[in-house]
Structure 1
Amino acid sequence: MQTVKSKDGQILTESEEVKDRWKESFQELYNKKNPTDEELTQSVPQMPSCKIEPAILREEIESAVKKMSDGKAPGYDNITAEELKAAGSAGIEILHMLCTKIWDSEIFPDDWGGYHHTNLQEERQA
């Protein structure tokens, strides 16, 4: 059995009274507004907004392109891994600029959401 003291020092033993006292105690403890000096708060210079996540690195794009498997069917954009690799440094730079723009704006191009599936196997004849 749990017991707790009320504000006036009485010992509470009923579970509902104990629960209510704990609730009251936590509300008093955690819902107090911290005292602040508004004049001091206003005098503190505001920092410019900081990005939480770092920008995409060119090396990340280059690494991703290098890891792409050759000989695979092109994606929705009809660009193969071989074509991306053949684009070389200039292609990596363009991909980096594109990915950075998308990352910063947080807006994907509408046609990037598409998915196209082509069934390459014919139905088997029984």
Structure 2
Amino acid sequence: MPVKDATGQLFTDPTDQLKRWSEHFEQLFQVSSHEPFTSRHDPPRVRRMTCVNSKAPSWQVIEAAIQSMKSNKAPGVDRISAEMLKTNPMPSSQLLQQLFCNNWDTATFPADWMQGYLVKVPKKEDQGYAPTGEASCCYVLYSKFCAK
């Protein structure tokens, strides 16, 4: 599928498209080094973490996090969807508790959790594409109980 550059030129070559996506995200995340960081740069509607949970998660907390996950979403790089975990949440939460407690005790988590997919979703009426990301299901769950 073609991708447009900043001037509206269409790229059909996959190499050019990847280069354009790279340029797009470099521009998107570029912060001027001479400007001090202030709260006015924060995106709207971002919930700030005022405190971090200091206890390792119980399987009940993980089960509640599983139940709160949105359904009908594409799985991330771990290929685990919310529906898979919601099918039988108690055993899923008990298995994940072992993994999460190990991560909690060692203050680490797998590097694979930092991986994700960037997916091009077509906009309405041929106006190009909107990028969206798919994170690891385990990372999403782990971050849910850390923020509570």
TM-score between the two structures when normalised by the length of structure 1:
0.52
**2-structure distance, mates of 1:91, 1:58:** 9
Alpha-carbon distance in structure 2 between the residues aligned to 1:95 and 1:125: 41
For residue 120 of structure 1, give the secondary structure of its aligned residue in structure 2.
Answer: strand
The whole-number CA distance in structure 2 between the counterparts of 1:113 and 1:80 is 17
SS in structure 2 opposite 1:101?
A: helix
Largest Rg, 1 or 2: 1
Any idea what SS the aligned residue of 2:121 has? coil
Structure 1 residues 55 and 121: alpha-carbon distance in aligned structure 2, compared to 1, 3 A threshold: same
Residues 20-59 of structure 1: pairs in structure 2 closer than 5 A? 53-59=54-60
Aligned residue number for residue 126 of structure 2: 124
Do the aligned partners of residues 124 and 102 (structure 1) sit closer, same or farther apart at CA in structure 2, a change above 3 Å counting?
same
Give the letter aligned to residue 70 of structure 2: S
Please say if residues 69 and 82 of structure 2, whose CA atoms lie closer than 8 Å, have aligned partners that are also in contact. Answer: yes
Q: Percent identity?
A: 33
SS of equivalent to 2:122 = coil
Q: Deviations over 1:80-102 (max 9, x none)?
A: 11001114322111111111110
Query: Which structure 2 segments of 5+ residues have no match?
Result: 1-52, 129-148
Deviation at 1:120, TM superposition (A): 2.6
Q: Distance in 1 between matches of 2:68 and 2:127?
A: 38
User: What are the residue-to-residue correspondences of 1:1-126 with 2, within 5 Å?
Assistant: 53-121=54-122, 124=126
TM-score (norm 2): 0.45
Query: How far 1:125 sits from its partner (Å)?
Result: 7.3
Runs of 4+ in 1 over 6 A off after TM superposition: none
Q: Summarize deviations over 1:11-35 as a string: whole Å, max 9, x none.
A: xxxxxxxxxxxxxxxxxxxxxxxxx
Query: In 2, distance between residues paired with 1:125 and 1:92?
Result: 42
Deviations 1:63-94 (A, max 9, x none): 00001111111123121110011143221111
Unaligned runs of 5+ in 1: 1-51
1:116 partner SS = strand
CA distance in 2, matches of 1:115, 1:72: 14
In terms of fraction of residues, the more strand-rich structure is: 2
Q: What RMSD over aligned residues (CA atoms) do the two structures have, in Å?
A: 2.5
State the aligned residue count: 75
Residues in 2 aligned to 1:118 and 1:125: alpha-carbon distance in whole angstroms:
16
Q: Structure with the greater relative contact order (CA < 8 A, sep ≥ 6): 1 or 2?
A: 2
Q: Residue 49 of structure 1 aligns with which residue?
A: none
